[in-house]
């Protein structure tokens, strides 16, 4: 499962903050929100592909976590627990959207203010044309992911972004290992088809 963020020496531990939060200390919970909002938002954004909805769902995940804090037993890391909540919130949203007949998500997709790819790419070290190609490729990748079904998008995010092992993905979804592998294979094949033209020159 996703590991918690490494804490600097002297930084208050998750465990301490969670205990204080469980006692009703909203300041302690605010520190946890600040610590993990970037990772939770990234996950919801990659799954939802909509900045506004991802922002709301990430917030919803933290609210649900606050409500569920009394049941948190410390037998798992806080981030792992929080991540599971955020994943379920986002995936439920995707499923409801599909049930409502909004199978294609592209229409509502918004451009993220930060060029996709720019945050994962060292800034300042790239020639302008290389940076542009990276940004364009990142954009094409996001567009291709937005066309995947929720199930395929889910395994791509869990594997490629979060780096979860197959067994962890199977436990989180939940489904069999074979299903995880099949979904990963076909999700990647579909992305290959979507990105065929850039593939020949950029990949």
Partner 1 sequence: MKHPSEEHDLIRWIDGEMNEDERVTFEARLKQDPALATEVQKMSALSASLRAHMPAEMRVPHADYFNTQIEVRITQMALDEARAKQSASGWSAVLQLLSKPWFALAGATALAVVGFLLLNPEIGVASESMILSSYTPNTRVQARTYHDAGADATVLMLDGLDAVPADRKIAGINIQRTEMEPELASTTMFDGQGTAVLMISHDALGNPMISPR
Residues binding partner 1: number (CB under 8 A): 57
Indicate whether 41 belongs to the interface with partner 1 (CB under 8 A): yes
What is the C-alpha radius of gyration for the chain, rounded to an integer number of angstroms? 18
What is the Cα–Cα distance from 62 to 38, expressed in whole angstroms? 12
Evaluate whether 137 touches 198 at the Cβ level (below 8 Å).
Answer: yes
Q: Which helix (H) or strand (E) holds 175?
A: none
Among 161, 171, 173, 175, indicate the residue that binds partner 1 (CB under 8 A).
161
What is the Cα–Cα distance from 136 to 149, expressed in whole angstroms? 23
Residues 120-159 that bind partner 1 (CB under 8 A): 120-121, 134, 137-138, 141-142, 145, 156-157, 159
> Segment near partner 1 (CB under 8 A), from 10-18, 32-40, 74-82, 91-99?
32-40
Indicate whether 38 belongs to the interface with partner 1 (CB under 8 A): yes
Evaluate whether 62 touches 40 at the Cβ level (below 8 Å).
Answer: yes
Shortest spacing between CB 101 and partner 1, in angstroms: 27
Indicate whether 110 belongs to the interface with partner 1 (CB under 8 A): no
Determine the 3-state secondary structure of 102 from DSSP.
Answer: coil
Nearer to partner 1, 55 or 98 (CB): 55
> Segment near partner 1 (CB under 8 A), from 63-71, 72-80, 91-99, 123-131?
63-71
| CA 119 to chain centroid | 15
Determine the 3-state secondary structure of 120 from DSSP.
Answer: coil
What is the Cα–Cα distance from 59 to 117, expressed in whole angstroms? 24
The DSSP call for residue 158 is I
Give the residues lining the site for partner 1 (CB under 8 A): 26-27, 29-30, 33-34, 37-39, 41-43, 45-46, 51, 55, 58-59, 62-63, 66-67, 112-114, 116-117, 119-121, 134, 137-138, 141-142, 145, 156-157, 159-163, 165-166, 178, 181-182, 184-185, 188, 191-192, 195, 199, 202-203
């Amino acid at each position: 499962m996703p590991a918690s963020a490494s804490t600097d020496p002297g930084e208050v531990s998750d465990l301490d903050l969670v205990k204080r939060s469980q006692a009703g200390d909203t300041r302690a919970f605010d520190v946890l929100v600040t610590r993990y909002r970037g990772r939770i938002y990234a996950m919801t954004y990659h799954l939802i592909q909509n900045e506004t909805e991802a922002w709301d769902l990430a917030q919803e995940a933290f609210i649900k976590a606050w409500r569920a804090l009394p049941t948190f037993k410390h037998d798992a890391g806080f981030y792992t627990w929080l991540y599971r909540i955020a994943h379920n919130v986002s995936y439920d949203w995707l499923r409801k959207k599909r049930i409502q007949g909004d199978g294609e998500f592209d229409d509502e997709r918004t451009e993220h203010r930060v060029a996709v790819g720019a945050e994962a790419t060292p800034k300042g070290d790239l020639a302008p044309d290389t940076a542009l190609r990276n940004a364009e490729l990142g954009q094409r990748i996001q567009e291709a992911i937005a066309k995947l079904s929720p199930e395929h998008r889910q395994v791509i995010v869990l594997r490629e972004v979060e780096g979860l092992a197959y067994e962890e993905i199977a436990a989180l979804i939940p489904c069999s290992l074979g299903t995880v592998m099949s979904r990963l294979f076909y999700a990647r094949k579909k992305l290959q088809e979507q990105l065929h033209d850039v593939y020949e020159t950029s990949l």
